[in-house]
Amino acid sequence: MDARAAVNGPLHQLVYGVERVVKGALFGCKMCGQCALSSTAFVCPMRCPKNMRNGPCGGSTDGMCEVDPSMPCVWCLAYQRSKKLGRIQKLLEIQPNLDWRLSQTSSWINYVTGRYRPGSGGNHGA
């Protein structure tokens, strides 16, 4: 089903609005529509200017972002928090290529309706 059509109904609009407000306030969520927070110890990877979904690039200096040195590297944060919460194993899951059609839709609805599965990339043989 076309992902765009799914967000036109009033129920979807409502869920989308709630998700946006709640996750935006808590995690700086960018509403990619295919949430990876559960594998990043709840640091939104879409805050990375390079959309890194699978870990940090090689550019962070002293824990700060190479693009905006006033911003902490989200992957440094994700690693520290994963370590603290005992979730390092989750960081090792390969996040699949993004489905950009889902951008600005509700990942809750997308999850329930099976449009994405977090960490479902698997290795190259999968």
Which residue in the block uniquely carries the two structure tokens 């600005």?
A: 104
Q: How far is the CB of 80 from another protein (least distance, A)?
A: 7
Query: Using the rule CB under 8 A, is 33 a contact of another protein?
Result: no
Q: How far is the CB of 77 from another protein (least distance, A)?
A: 9
Q: How far is the CB of 13 from another protein (least distance, A)?
A: 28
Q: Residue from 2, 5, 10, 58 that binds another protein (CB under 8 A)?
A: 58
Distance of CA 42 to CAs 9, 82, 106, 108, 120, Å? 28, 9, 17, 15, 17
Residues that bind another protein (CB under 8 A): 49-63, 66-67, 73, 75-76, 79-80, 88, 91-92, 94-98, 100, 121, 123-125
